[in-house]
Structures are given as structure tokens and as C-alpha cells.
Structure 1
Amino acid sequence: MKIALFTDTFPPQVNGVSLTLQRWAEHMERRQVETRIFVPRCTQEDPEAPGVLRSLSVPLFFYPEHRLSFPNPFFIRRELREFRPDLIHVTTPFNMGLMGLHIAKKEGIPLVASYHTHFDRYLQYYRLQFLSSWIWNYMRWFHESCELLLAPSDETKQLLENKGLPRLDLWRRGVDTELFCPSRANHAFRRRYHIEGQHVLLYVGRMAPEKDLDVLAGAMKKLPGSFRDQVHWVLVGDGPMREELEAEKLPHITFTGTLRGEALAEAYASADAFVFPSTTETFGNVVLESLAAGTPAVVARAGGVKEIVEHGRTGWFASPRSVDGLVEGICHLLGNSERLRWMGKEARRMALEQSWDQIFDRLLFRYEAIVERKTARHAHAG
């Protein structure tokens, strides 16, 4: 089988989607499935990789961490005619995805799409709610010719069904339990960031309005004094809200910027609890990474995150956008060290069941079934 992937996000961009797709590419290589991956170029120093073909892109004016691609149709058509893919997979409904959609229709190549981002939920954070109905009309048009639309969680799948999108199935996410594991915890992490508090509370993700970081800041300020003085906050990531959060000069807080690989794994494992207030997640990769590191999570009871955390066992649910709920969860976890250790062990046990290999192999099986159906249809027509 030969697969062409079209996406508007891919490493060196750092987000859950790009890292998932990097793992996808690595798995396809191990399974000896030929791929061509069409992605945006972020800088002239982007790493070159076999089968990864980059197109011109520019940062979005209101969100520079995301990029708008300008694929060259002549170059891409030439590449695909030489490659002759059996199936095209698109992960975005925008410029790069449109190119994949156009070529799939024109050449009669089966098309699979995956849904990764609740764009309509982001609109309220940028005062663009009036675009919501237009976006869903566009999404229905974009996906009507897809053989399959993959959602990362039951919650997201149900939303898409309710919006009238057809031919849905699940494509869940896994976690690297060798990289993200409790043994990465060490005192060097505390020394590096001058952490003196008894407890470390961690956030990992984009620093942007749609992550509900105003709720996180409110919880920092509202923690009871008995906890506030014992806690050191570590915020990992970057984005348009970082400068605003730094300007608040909250006590006992460290901004690390983006961390990758072992440095990120060390942060997860060295924290006592992970705090993630976002209500806009289709899945929540960072939450699963935290659990794999043996670090329980306090999260909003919203989106795909609800399907990762088990309340009272591997973490704690707070009501969406509730400062008080977030504070209650933090205090519950930190208030009993024995219970916290037990929850960390349960979190690790749950994460060990989330195998990337099984998840990607199931995706490959779906690809094969779609290609076989097309072959059978052509044979019948002939």
C-alpha cells in the first residue's frame, strides 16, 4: 500500500497533532508502508526527511504558532503521479487538506480524513462566533466525499454525528510509556528551575485563550494559603498568552518554554499533579502523557479528556471553566500524600494499556479495507 498524507501541522511544530503524525510516519516506515507527506515549511532550517515534502506557509496573523500553507499544485500533482498512492489521508480542512481533497476527487483516489481540532469552539475566544454556522456547513461539504472520517474520542464522534458528518469511526491516541514514565523524576529538575516548594503543579500545552488559561490563573490566585505557599507552578509551552501570564507576576511560578523528549518527560514525572483546565480538547494527548508518567491530572470535565481520566482514581474532574472546581481538585490531590501516590500508580497502570502500535495497526487495517473495496468496485464495473 502507498499512502499520501496532507497536513497543515508537522514537526518541527510542537502540538498534539504534529507529534501524533510524526509517530504515524514512523509506524508506517516500520510496517514498510510507503508514504509521501505534504506539510508546510516553517523555516528554512526545517529538517529534511525522506518522503516529507514541504510547501510555502505563513503564520496566521492572530495566532503565529499556526501556519497557513500555500501548496504548489503543479509540484504536488507531479509528485503524486510518480508516487501513485492507493489512498490519501487529510488531517486538515484548510489549504493543504483542500489540495489533498482536490487531487483525490480528480484522480479517483480513496480519501480518508481525520478530525483533530474543534475550530468552532475556538471562535468564542477570538470573538468570531458568528462564523460557527459557516464552518459547519464547510465541514460537511469538505467531508462528504470521504470514505471515512476519523474522530479521536467518543465525545468528538458524537458531536460530528450531531452535526451531520457521515461515515465516522474512532482513531484514538496512544502514549510512549517508555519515554513518559515515573522513573524520569529527579531532583535535578527542581534544582534547574529553583523549585523550593513542597509540591510541583504542572501545565503543558499552548499558552492560548482556548486553553482556558484565565481559569488556571484564577486557580493559582485562589488556592488556600496553606497550599499556596507549598506549591511551585511549572508552565511548559509557548503561545500568545505567555507574555500576559508572565506580566501578572504570580509567585512561585516558572515558565520553561517548549520542552521536548526527555526534558518534557522529566517535567511530567517530577510533578505531583498535572493541571489542565482546557474545555476544547478533541482528545488531550498531554493528559495521557502525564498519566503515563505516574502523575494524576486535575482536568475540566469536557471534551475528549473525559475519556482519559477516571475521576477519583487517575485524576479529578472540575466543572468546565470553574476556578473553584480546579482549586477543589488540587486540594483533594495534594491533601493526602498516600492517596496521591495510589492515584499515580493507577494512572500509570491505565496508560500502559494505550499502545501506539495497536492503534496504528488498526488504522492500517481500515486503510486496507477501503483500498480493497475500491479494487472490488472497479473489478465489478469492469
Structure 2
Amino acid sequence: MKIALFTDTFVPQVNGVSKTLKRLADYLERQQIEHQIYAPHYAREDYYSHHIRRFKSLPFFLYPECRITFPNKIKLNEQLKEFKPDLIHIATPFNLGLTGLRYGKKNNIPMVASYHTHFDHYLKYYRMEFLSPWMKRYFNWFYQDHFKKIFVPSCETNDHLHSQGFSNIFYWKRGVDTDIFQPHIDTRDFRERYGIRAPFVFLFVSRLAQEKNLATLAKIIKQLPDSIRNKSQWLVVGDGPMRTKLEGELEHDAIFTGYLEGEALAQAYATADLFVFPSASETFGNVVLEAFASKTPVIGANKGGVTELIKHGKTGYLCDPYDPSDYIEKITTLLEHPMLLQTMGERGRQFALKQSWDNIFSQLIADYEDAIYDRKKQFA
């Protein structure tokens, strides 16, 4: 089996899509499945693989972590002709994805797609709703009828695409590395590095952009009662276009670390007593699984993909996405009931232990094979 993957976001960019695709690439490598990845070139590239083909790119205005790529089509066609893929997987609907789509159609290669982000939902956060009809028409054209399978991470995303008239939808869930993200990590150096002295630590991890509901996060932090504020510390992990504004607004209320990866990110989760995540735009919510793996209960928005991860009253709480008082009430409840906090953390860890990346990717490969076999049957 030979897989050609087209994506407009990939490492070293830090977001849920790029991390998932990097893990997929690592899995294909371990399983010795031939693959080529067609991805943007970045000014900073700290990840190299002979499987990756890079092309010039610029940041996408709605989502800078996703790039508008300008592939050299002659070079790309030569590479694909030499590679001879059995299947094309398109992860993003922009220039590289469109290039892969055209090549697959022209050469009768079976194709699958994965749907990761509600880009049309982002428009309202940037006062560009006037583009919504055009974007919906384009997405409908892009995803309709071209793909053997469209992979989605959650029931919420499945329902959304079904409402748009899409078919051939299959689940591609997400996993978590419970060896990296786990509660028994020495966090003393981490606490010392960021000057964390408070008895309780509240954590938020995400790209710092409007669509992550940062306005509600800021209100939660500001409106916490003094009885909690005086014995707690907020930790905000991530970067993005809203960081400067948010950091200025919460200058005396939160520690901003920027992006963290690997051991440092695992230490952040292990340090926290609670993960507070008001983002209402998630198609899945990888960070929720990372918190659970670290035995950290999650208080999240009752909207989007995270609603399928957080078991209300069991592993955390779901709140009215835009009501700070709801989050504050749940935070107060858990701090006043430490045994409940501990029990929720243990349940979250047990749930995370069942979310194996290898099992998830094994199913994806089976879906790949099914798409290839289905095309072969048509021409038998």
C-alpha cells in the first residue's frame, strides 16, 4: 500500500491537526507502509523526514497555523508519478488539498478526506460572516462525491456534515499517549521555572485565538471569588494572535508559557488540579484527553466535540459555553470537595488509558484498504 497525504498544516506548526498527522506519519513509518506527505514549507523546520515534500506557503488569514501553499505542480506531478500512490488522503481543503484532489481525479486514484476544522464557524469571530455562503458552497463542492470516505473525529462533526448533505462519513477518533501524559511526573522543576507557589493550579491549553472563547476564559479568571483567587494560580499554555491582548488583560492573574511540547507540556498538565476549557469550536478536543491522561478533571464548554469526552459529573463538568458563573460554580464545587476532584481525575485517567493511538490508526489503515479495494472492484 502506498499513501499520498496532502495537508496545508504540518509540524513544526503546533495545533491538533498537525500533531495528529505527525503521529499518523510515525505510525506509517513503524508499520513500514510506504507514504509521501505533501506539506507547506515553514521558515522554521525542526522536523525532517525523507517522506515529506515541502512547498512554499503563507499563513491563512483565518487560521495562521494552516497555510496557503503554492505547490510547484510540475515538480509535484513528477513526484507523484514516480511514487505511484494507491490512495490519496486529503487533510485540508486548501491549495495542497485541491492539488491532490485534481491529481486523484485525473488519474483515477481512490481518495479519502479527513475533516478537522469548522472553518465556516470561524468567520463570525473575525467579522467576515459575509464570506460564509461562498465558503459553504466551496466546502460542499470539495467534499461532495469526490471521496470514498470522509473521516470525522466526533459525532458532533458527523451530524454537522450530515446536515450539509455529506455522505460516506466514517469515524477517525483521536488517541493519547498515556506514557507521556500521566500523573506521576516530577513537576518540581516546572513549578520553580514558572514561580508557581499557590496550592491550586488551573490550566488552559490552546491556540490563543478568538474562536477559542478567550473572552469567557478571561471573565472566569477575573470573576473568581477572592477565597479562590488567593489560593490558586492560572497557567495559560499556547500562543496565537490574541496572546498579547490576553496577557495584558490578565497580567497579574495568569502565567503565560507560550507553546509547550513533550515533557514540558506533560508537566503542565500534571501540575494542574483542574483543566478549564471554555472553547466551543472544537471538532474533538485533543487537550481534553491529555488532561484526562494526567488525572486532571476538565471543566469544559457544553458544545462541540468535547461533549463526547467529558462525562458530566463523572470526569468533569460541562458548562454553558459563554456563562462564566457556571464555570466558577463548578470550580468552587470541586475545590470544596477534594474527594470528588480526586475521583474525577482517576476516572479520567481510566478513560484515557483506553484511547490507544495504535488501535485508532489500525482502524484507519483498514479503512484505507477498504477504499482501495472498492476502487479495484469497480474496474475488475
| Superposition TM-score, scaled by structure 2 size | 0.97
Q: Partner residue of 1:80?
A: 80
- Distance (whole Å) between structure 2 residues aligned to residue 185 and residue 140 of structure 1: 49
Deviation per residue, 1:149-172 (Å, 9 max, x gap):
111001110110011112111111
Q: Partner residue of 1:199?
A: 200
Q: Partner residue of 1:4?
A: 4
Counting only pairs closer than 5 Å after superposition, residues 1-382 of structure 1 correspond to structure 2 as 1-43=1-43, 45-61=45-61, 63-144=63-144, 145-379=146-380
For structure 1, which segment, 276-285 or 143-152, has the greater mean C-alpha deviation from structure 2 after superposition?
Answer: 143-152
Provide closer, same or farther for how the CA distance between residues 249 and 153 of structure 1 changes in structure 2, counting only shifts above 3 A: closer
- Distance (whole Å) between structure 2 residues aligned to residue 55 and residue 292 of structure 1: 36
Q: CA deviation at 1:63?
A: 4.9
Q: CA deviation at 1:133?
A: 2.2
Unaligned runs of 5+ in 2: none
Q: CA deviation at 1:366?
A: 0.6
Question: Does the aligned pair in 2 maintain the 1:281–1:303 contact within 8 Å?
Answer: yes
- Distance (whole Å) between structure 2 residues aligned to residue 253 and residue 44 of structure 1: 29
Question: Does the aligned pair in 2 maintain the 1:218–1:323 contact within 8 Å?
Answer: yes
Question: Does the aligned pair in 2 maintain the 1:185–1:267 contact within 8 Å?
Answer: no
Q: CA deviation at 1:131?
A: 1.8
Deviation per residue, 1:311-363 (Å, 9 max, x gap):
11111111121111121221122221111111111110010010111110001
Deviation per residue, 1:7-45 (Å, 9 max, x gap):
011110011100000010111111211000000011164
Question: Does the aligned pair in 1 maintain the 2:201–2:233 contact within 8 Å?
Answer: yes
- Distance (whole Å) between structure 1 residues aligned to residue 66 and residue 25 of structure 2: 21
Q: Percent identity?
A: 49
Provide closer, same or farther for how the CA distance between residues 185 and 334 of structure 1 changes in structure 2, counting only shifts above 3 A: farther
Unaligned runs of 5+ in 1: none
Aligned residues: 379
Q: Alpha carbon RMSD of aligned pairs, Å?
A: 1.2
Deviation per residue, 1:200-259 (Å, 9 max, x gap):
000111000000011000000111111111110000010011100111144341100110
Question: Does the aligned pair in 2 maintain the 1:291–1:297 contact within 8 Å?
Answer: yes
Q: CA deviation at 1:64?
A: 3.8
For structure 1, which segment, 46-55 or 31-40, has the greater mean C-alpha deviation from structure 2 after superposition?
Answer: 46-55
SS at match of 2:184: helix
- Distance (whole Å) between structure 2 residues aligned to residue 323 and residue 169 of structure 1: 35
Q: CA deviation at 1:46?
A: 4.5
- Distance (whole Å) between structure 2 residues aligned to residue 341 and residue 44 of structure 1: 41
Question: Does the aligned pair in 1 maintain the 2:218–2:250 contact within 8 Å?
Answer: no
| Superposition TM-score, scaled by structure 1 size | 0.97
